Amino acid sequence: MMTKPNSGGERTTAWDHTDCRGAEGCPPRCPRFVDKEGNPLLIQTGAEGEFETLVNFYDDYPSRHRSMSLPPLTRPQVERWVEKVIENGRSVLAFHDGRLVGHVAFLPADQQEPELIVFIASPYQDSGLGTELCRQAMAYAADDGHRALRLHVDADNEIALAVYNSLGFVEIDREGKRIEMRVALDSDLVSKVQAPPADRS
């Protein structure tokens, strides 16, 4: 553990896993992450036991942060959508102090190039969590044998576009303001996203 200041100058306790080189049985990417505010977060894969947690997360999601008409607007719609995501995809979730603060998923999980969705709680946006969860998804997708990931993003969402470009996504189609992007999970990229903390540049 280490103590470090957050943006408000307060001291927060976080993991110091920078020297970790991994061990047998480790997941495709380290499940520990410290965001730009110094918050220690735990990353877990699989959402089978998190249905209500996800429904509540999306039911409370601010409408101004909706993207590509997601998440749905009403709770019954959210419940049906979350059920579909859990049944057909692979989810990666981020928790801070036991509270869900971020969720990415790629689906359908039985396709070679599933679609990635990314949602981050408002207080954790611009904290680096979105980028980390995308890397987590890429690491797990490669481990599952997928060839690539695709996503759709609004052309006006400059922050998201910058993140996706930095991760290696490239534009492959555009229809109005709807952009489709793809990242190939080649060996060099996979080595980077699956590298243990001590081996990251």
Tell me if 40 sits within 8 A of 96, measured CB to CB.
yes
Q: What is the dihedral of CA 122, 30, 87, 54, to 10 degrees?
A: -30
pLDDT digits (tens, 9 = 90+) for 51-96: 999 999 999 999 888 888 899 999 999 999 999 999 999 999 999 9
The residue written with tokens 């996503």 in the block is 151
pLDDT in tens, 145-180: 999 999 999 999 999 999 999 999 999 999 999 999
- Residues counted in the chain: 201
Note the pTM of the prediction, 2 decimals: 0.87
Q: Is 92 strand, coil or helix?
A: strand
CATH code, residues 28-195: 3.40.630.30
Domain ranges of the chain: 28-195
Asked whether the beta carbons of 146 and 112 are under 8 A apart, the reply is yes
